[in-house]
Structure 1
Amino acid sequence: MRKGVAFLSILSLLWITTSGFGAIQKKLIHFPTFEANIAKVVEKDEAIRAQNTNSINLKDYGYPEVKFTGADWSLSNWRIILAPSANTTKNNVLSYTKPVKSKRWESEGGTVLGARIHFIEGRFLSWALIKPPFDIFAYYDDGSFVNAEGGEENSLVMGLLANVGQIKSISTWVYGLNYQMQVGIRLRDRMDQTKDFFMGSVWFEGWRKLLWQNPEYTDDVRDRVLQRIPLYPRSYPYVVFDGYIVYKPEIEQGGDFVVYFKDVDMEFDRAIIREEMDIDDEAQWGILAKERLDKRILELKRLSDITQLYEQAKAQQRANAPAQQ
């Protein structure tokens, strides 16, 4: 009797999966609301750090103090990293991002990510990476998952999706201006490994949804390569938006290029299904909190060094400026 019930359960699972109910669709990042959502994360992050007795004071190690605010993550602070052959002072100065108002998406908030890229001039292959100002982090200092407000999985659209297994498709709304540049999306997983997904050309005018579909994806679980996913103390399976890649083909002359992005949607299977945890592993061992804290210390030390260099450069500019008459 038990075997019959188990067999019926398997048939039910196969029916649901083959009927197209296996994959779920979520928004990975949404630029009209990104600044407001990431500000909530930063505010909660600072509150948790203030209560965390394990936090390290960088001043004790001779590093300048660094404190993040929501404004540090604004769309105007996103970075453009050029290919080494194009990484010149002129190209860097002329390559930057900014928030741009769009009439098309006014009902969703209206703000999209605009990027101006100054590619190397001439018929050369090149590329540029458009990234957030800092790596989007998955865990707070206390080991709790960022995108799980009130215990709800993926409750906030801020560039992070939890419990992502096999990806079925990725799509993004892009505004083209009739250039033969090509666009890709780079994602980062829980092992800090990145993977690029080619979305297609922007050889068109206006808004268009570019789509990547996984050729290896199948709805029928009988045709899949099934595998067990290690859980704790590994991080919960997740993906993070690491940036856009813009490729310049040889046919394009180079110089200035402008493009706009609205969002990224993903369709994927859940990596694991755990209705209820019998044991709160992190509360017992604190391994993820320790890993998060170690990464945060390295990140803050790097940013402290950059901040100190900026302040020294500003001081030199003030010292070299002619005295006011």
Structure 2
Amino acid sequence: MKRKFKSILFFLLSTVLFAQETDGLTEGPKRSEPGELVLDFAELARDPSSTRLDLTNYVDYVYSGASGIVKPEDMVVDLGINNWSVLLTPSARLQAYVKNSVVAPAVVKSESKRYAGDTILGVRVLFPSYSQSSAMIMPPFKIPFYSGESGNQFLGKGLIDNIKTMKEIKVSVYSLGYEIDLEVLFEDMNGMEYAYSMGTLKFKGWADLIWSNPNYIPNISSRIIKDDVPNYPLASSKMRFKAFRVSKSHSSKEQNFIFYVKDLRVLYDKLSVSIDSDIDSESVFKVYETSGTESLRKLKAHETFKR
């Protein structure tokens, strides 16, 4: 009887522990994808059209006469993999390093146990040997906080909304074993940058690199911060992906660094803000739309002068 009771107790404890493990970002026996999607390069490779921005309407606001100089098709941009780029730290921006630091679509082999047949982001960075260097892998434009008819064009495509406390960040990576460190950079609506260290890429094969907030206490952190903010407008409730950043130490003689990224996901506590249901303040004052339009105008100016 005691043996039977112990067996039942062990089964129940095992079930609870398993449930706790798979509830986070750690992968369990059955592959699940918890957390909020920030970027999925397989989706962007299949169809980047949902991230397309047409900036031609803003050209006359930012550069007099530019509409006659810049081709309209040059002002239509999206988050397709081929449009991403590598920006080396200034000390490494010699022609040979810049020319050979690139991104490219990479197809996962059909026999792979993960993401077979998917096209993902491939990254090659060429660094000077025995030199401390870093590089950012960047989207073709700053993700707009407000874009599209609903303003939410980039939610799940580089943008996360209604964020209070970041809990976990996960990047699915395929590494070739280079000794290099990876960070994820986010930016809030006030221009504040947040860098999250994902650890080293000195491993071979697939891995889910996870950053966990060391100061987050479940069931407590979600309550200790008062949501003492106005209902409208929420000044800094959104965060956008800024870049992946890789860094190498001066002791490394390696120059080529190659790795691949499938997707980026986050877990976070959301702001609890009551909905202004009696009056639609956005339709009256258009704060979000105006700030979004201004952001697009600045982006247009950047694209115009870049060409």
TM-score normalised by length of structure 1: 0.74
Q: Secondary structure at the match of 1:73?
A: coil
User: Where does structure 2 lack aligned partners over 5 or more consecutive residues?
Assistant: 1-19, 26-33
Cα deviation, residue 300, structure 1: 1.0
Report if aligned partners of 2:198, 2:211 keep a CA contact under 8 Å in 1.
yes
Residue equivalent to 1:8: none
Cα deviation, residue 124, structure 1: 2.0
Report if aligned partners of 1:22, 1:269 keep a CA contact under 8 Å in 2.
no
Residue equivalent to 1:129: 136
Report if aligned partners of 2:141, 2:299 keep a CA contact under 8 Å in 1.
no
Report if aligned partners of 1:105, 1:111 keep a CA contact under 8 Å in 2.
no
**Aligned counterpart in structure 1 of residue 84 of structure 2, from 70, 78, 81:** 78
Cα deviation, residue 273, structure 1: 4.3
Residue equivalent to 2:289: 289
Instruction: Say how many residue pairs are matched.
Output: 272
Do the aligned partners of residues 35 and 189 (structure 1) sit closer, same or farther apart at CA in structure 2, a change above 3 Å counting?
farther
Do the aligned partners of residues 165 and 225 (structure 1) sit closer, same or farther apart at CA in structure 2, a change above 3 Å counting?
closer
Residue equivalent to 1:139: 146
Pairing 1:180-195 to 2, within 5 Å after superposition: 180-195=179-194
Pairing 1:188-207 to 2, within 5 Å after superposition: 188-207=187-206
Report if aligned partners of 2:108, 2:116 keep a CA contact under 8 Å in 1.
no
Q: What percent of counterpart residues are identical?
A: 24
Is 1:93 matched with 2:99?
yes
User: Where does structure 1 lack aligned partners over 5 or more consecutive residues?
Assistant: 1-18, 149-153, 308-325
Pairing 1:20-59 to 2, within 5 Å after superposition: 25-36=35-46, 38-42=48-52, 46=54, 57=60
2:79 maps to a residue whose letter is: W
Q: Secondary structure at the match of 1:61?
A: coil
Do the aligned partners of residues 35 and 193 (structure 1) sit closer, same or farther apart at CA in structure 2, a change above 3 Å counting?
farther
Pairing 1:1-325 to 2, within 5 Å after superposition: 25-36=35-46, 38-42=48-52, 46=54, 57=60, 61-63=64-66, 64-65=69-70, 66-67=72-73, 68-69=75-76, 72-103=78-109, 104=112, 110-121=118-129, 123-140=130-147, 144-147=150-153, 154=155, 157-221=156-220, 224-235=224-235, 237-274=237-274, 277-307=277-307
1:129 maps to a residue whose letter is: M
Cα distance in structure 1, aligned partners of 2:231 and 2:48: 27
TM-score normalised by length of structure 2: 0.78
Do the aligned partners of residues 59 and 274 (structure 1) sit closer, same or farther apart at CA in structure 2, a change above 3 Å counting?
closer
Deviates more, 1:19-28 or 1:274-283: 19-28
Cα deviation, residue 224, structure 1: 2.8
1:26 maps to a residue whose letter is: E
Do the aligned partners of residues 60 and 221 (structure 1) sit closer, same or farther apart at CA in structure 2, a change above 3 Å counting?
closer
Deviations 1:127-157 (A, max 9, x none): 1100001111121276x32248xxxxx5xx3
Report if aligned partners of 1:97, 1:113 keep a CA contact under 8 Å in 2.
yes
Do the aligned partners of residues 203 and 59 (structure 1) sit closer, same or farther apart at CA in structure 2, a change above 3 Å counting?
closer
Cα distance in structure 2, aligned partners of 1:275 and 1:79: 40
Cα distance in structure 1, aligned partners of 2:218 and 2:104: 40
Cα distance in structure 2, aligned partners of 1:83 and 1:113: 21
2:82 maps to a residue whose letter is: S
Cα deviation, residue 202, structure 1: 0.8
1:191 maps to a residue whose letter is: N
Cα deviation, residue 232, structure 1: 2.2
Do the aligned partners of residues 230 and 91 (structure 1) sit closer, same or farther apart at CA in structure 2, a change above 3 Å counting?
farther
- Superposition RMSD in Å: 3.0
